Amino acid sequence: IGVGLVGFGLFFLLFGILLYFDSVLLAFGNLLFLSGLLFIIGFRRTFTFFFQRPKLKGTSFFFGGLLVVLMRWPILGMLLEVYGFISLFR
């Protein structure tokens, strides 16, 4: 279930970008991706991964970007999410 949710989340993110940053598709893709991550590695590991002390800057940018996308500013939100994603996984 988790791999399917992550796959659909990535599909909706890509489709939302291809349709000129459609905010509904981007938000739905983000939510599916995060819920799939929860199913794959579990709630506790997901929480400890995102809220480690050295990764708080990346986490705040990632979730801030998600919030900005939900507020219908998709280009700015995706830029914030990409920066947060890069700082989380470097």
Q: What is the per-residue DSSP string for the chain?
A: -HHHHHHHHHHHHHHHHHTT--HHHHHHHHHHHHHHHHHHH-HHHHHHHHT-GGGHHHHHHHHHHHHHHHTT-HHHHHHHHHHHHHHH--
Q: What is the pLDDT of residues 8-28, one digit of tens each?
A: 999 999 999 999 999 999 999
Whether residues 83 and 68 share a domain: the answer is: yes
State the pLDDT at residue 90: 86
Whether residues 60 and 85 share a domain: the answer is: yes
Quick one: pLDDT band at residue 85, thresholds 50, 70, 90? very high
The domain total for the chain is 2
Whether residues 13 and 44 share a domain: the answer is: yes
Q: Which residues of 64-90 are buried (b: 16+ CB within 10 A; e: fewer)?
A: ebbebbbeebbeebbebbebbeebbee
Whether residues 11 and 21 share a domain: the answer is: yes
Note down the domain range covering 64: 52-89
